[in-house]
Structure 1
Amino acid sequence: MSYGVSAALQAAVFSALSADDTVTALVGSAVFDAEPSGALPDTYVSLGAEAVRDRSDGSGSGAVHDFTVSVVTELSGFQGAKAVAAAVSDVLIDADLVLARGVLVSLRFLRAKAARIENGTTRRIDLIFRARVDDA
């Protein structure tokens, strides 16, 4: 197994989301690799947790990355957050991302969870995606 492609995958996901016209129309430049300190925008997208499993075979090293992209909003209701989550999904599902290291074999949506957090004042949608990569 190689974890070597992880940083390249994260960078490519971040770049794709930051460059997408629909995502930026909804959240502006509020796509974060890590949440900044201080005041946050009312609605933003943040890259989150990742779990990786070996998928190496006779042809070389590979891995499956299950990673989270979160949509967080202070706005009332889930409608705005769901619009952003849909845009994120549209960007990532079956994306043809070019990685600085390795090759993206596939990228698909696994599941999502929408919840109220922080005493119900904040809404959060966690989208889980699965990427299969080869460390070519």
Structure 2
Amino acid sequence: FIVLCTIVFIFLDQQTLTQLSSPNALLGDFIALLAALSYSFSSVFNQKYLQNINNIQFTAVFSCLNLIVGSILTGIFEFHQLSTTKIEVIFILIGYSVLTLVFYLIASQLIKISDAVYYNVSLLMTNVYSFIFSTK
């Protein structure tokens, strides 16, 4: 029922903003819906997976797989920009990677303590609050 309501709201949104939006707005809405759905499935899978293993083991496997996929995608799409990258940008990326590691260590512990549903709802509310406070 919720998925059906979401699809109806996407189509209503598309009909009301036809004059103001780009021709790919429906595709963008569909991709955003697909991304949210896949993120929720991954959180539920992680909850099931985390019940059987250690947090460090989970983070190590998760990080190694992301390193492989991220390196391949960066090599394919950003190869021409890697040669002109400044050292400051590299330090910023290293800092971001460390903060992401800390986030996922905390997230895996939170998913283990509570449910993936509570974790997803808390992240969604954080996004809503950041949107509300960023608008003027």
- The TM-score normalised by the length of structure 2 is 0.27
Structure with a larger share of its residues in helix: 2
Structure with a larger share of its residues in strand: 1
- The TM-score normalised by the length of structure 1 is 0.27
